[in-house]
Amino acid sequence: MRKRTLGRTSLLPETKSSASTETKKFDLHNWISCFSFKDDTQMDINCLQGSGPCLRYQAKLKSKAQKISNEFWKANKNLFERNNKPDLSYASLVLDTQESVSPSKIKKLKSKKSKMSRPKKLRTYIPEDRPDISPSELLKTDKNILLVGKPGIGKTALTHEMLKLWAERDNKELDYMFYFDMRETSHIMMAKSLEDLLFSVISEPDEGKEEVLQDIKKNSDNVTLIFDGITDLSSSVVKRVVEKDLLPDAKIIITCRPDDAEDLLSGDFLRVEVKGFSEQTIKTYFPATLGEEQEKVLSNLELLTLCHVPVYALMVAVCFSSETPEDSPQPCTVTEIYINIVRHCLQTISKKTKTKDLNSFINNKSEEILSLAEFAFKATEGKTVILRELPVKTAASSPS
């Protein structure tokens, strides 16, 4: 029972503020190591872990976690054409645990960039490699984690990698991991209790429901909850979990944009800024996704710079892997990439394979397309991709 009693160990460096308080605490890890305890190889491991219903529920959660992770990468893979689907998986991200930069320092950096030549200025946007903080280390540390970063920078990919690592881990420990996509809020908002949040939103035990719930509450230090894409704490249950009113010893992992971070949290969270791909990662990403076409991207400084944001790297890879007319130039900006994607979606839906026919289709549907574009723009301003005010009639008649 040693691991369940002692909990996780912190593998990441302590901040100055927390280090001083840590030294005042009684170090149970150090104390127990003074005794010559050894693992009993003859002991049934199930006796050490927990009851049958709890073990089977853990297996069910791991199966679900594996499925969520696989579906995430499959959705990205399906963006590529049928005969050119790369085997996508997690690519190394630059993760920074340093304190946020002060406004005065940001102002100085911007002033310095303005005096640089364009090529040098572009390269400053690609983050430099830092001492590696891996998803597995983040998974093992006992600290609550706040993952911040701009849209598309890789926060969700990082959480899915942690899900995958947990699902593939051996079963020597009885622990639980729950993943909540906060962009799909309808079920989460309906949850009125911890039981609703865990069992109704995620997955219900097939047996011993009350026994499993009590084990989760009693051993909350063996519980990890991921809230991916939080913008506010409008769900009362989620708020109580984040503020430690429920499951006080659970590990909380939150992803959000920098603008939302200050409004969300006041507790002790390890702040990790996700900065996207380094130049080295970009140079390994495109050979895997584009093959011989990689040089068209890697030799273009504007595209290379753009691709430090993983979602743009994916969009560039999809655009370059798609068949385009010989007289059509390859995209070099985000706007051109988006135009290519919109045309690709319209082509798929309208089944117009010729450029001339597709242009005619777009002209005929221009009013509906512009209407959708307006709704999408307003949704972007509101920091959501859910087009809540979209009329059913418009949506049904439009090509999207």
Architecture category of domain 43-97+133-274 in CATH: 3-Layer(aba) Sandwich (3.40)
Average pLDDT over every residue of 254-282:
85
pLDDT category, 130, cuts 50, 70, 90?
A: confident
- Are 165 and 89 in contact by the 8 Å Cβ rule? The answer is no
* Run of H or E including 60: helix 52-77
Predicted TM-score of the model (pTM): 0.78
Q: Is 324 helix (H, G, I), strand (E, B) or coil?
A: coil
- Are 181 and 235 in contact by the 8 Å Cβ rule? The answer is no
Which tokens go with 86? 């790369």
pLDDT category, 223, cuts 50, 70, 90?
A: very high
Which tokens go with 186? 């309808």
Average pLDDT over every residue of 143-155:
92
Judge whether residue 120 has pLDDT over 60: yes
Average pLDDT over every residue of 209-226:
94
Report how far apart, in Å, the C-alpha atoms of 24 and of each of 19, 28, 70, 81, 376 are.
Answer: 9, 12, 44, 59, 53
Give 228's strand partners: 181, 255
Query: Which of the two residues, 359 and 44, has the higher pLDDT score?
Result: 359
Judge whether residue 16 has pLDDT over 50: no
Query: Which of the two residues, 311 and 400, has the higher pLDDT score?
Result: 311
Task: Compute φ and ψ for 3, nearest 5 degrees.
Answer: -65, -35
pLDDT for res 3 = 55
Report how far apart, in Å, the C-alpha atoms of 379 and of each of 135, 151, 185, 330, 375 are.
Answer: 31, 14, 16, 28, 6
Judge whether residue 136 has pLDDT over 70: yes
pLDDT digits (tens, 9 = 90+) for 64-103: 999 999 999 998 888 887 777 888 899 999 999 876 655 6
Which tokens go with 331? 């995209």
- Are 312 and 306 in contact by the 8 Å Cβ rule? The answer is yes
pLDDT category, 390, cuts 50, 70, 90?
A: low
Judge whether residue 139 has pLDDT over 70: yes
pLDDT category, 385, cuts 50, 70, 90?
A: low
Task: Compute φ and ψ for 267, nearest 5 degrees.
Answer: -85, -170
Report how far apart, in Å, the C-alpha atoms of 50 and of each of 24, 47, 150, 225, 251 are.
Answer: 32, 6, 41, 20, 20
Give me the residue spans of the domains in the chain.
43-97+133-274, 365-400
Euclidean distance between CA atoms 331 and 315, whole angstroms: 10
Judge whether residue 21 has pLDDT over 50: no
Judge whether residue 395 has pLDDT over 50: no
pLDDT for res 37 = 65
Average pLDDT over every residue of 100-118:
65
Average pLDDT over every residue of 107-136:
76
pLDDT category, 165, cuts 50, 70, 90?
A: very high
Euclidean distance between CA atoms 341 and 316, whole angstroms: 10
Query: Which of the two residues, 5 and 178, has the higher pLDDT score?
Result: 178
* Run of H or E including 381: helix 366-381
DSSP string, 106-139: HHHHHHHHHTS-HHHHHHTTSPPP-S---HHHHH
Look-up of token digits 């993952």? 147
pLDDT digits (tens, 9 = 90+) for 233-250: 888 999 999 999 999 999
343: nearest Cα among 361, 330, 329, 326: 361
**Of the segments 54-63, 76-85, 302-311, 335-344, which one has the largest average pLDDT value?**
54-63
- Tell how strand 269-274 and strand 251-256 pair up: unpaired
Query: Which of the two residues, 313 and 348, has the higher pLDDT score?
Result: 313
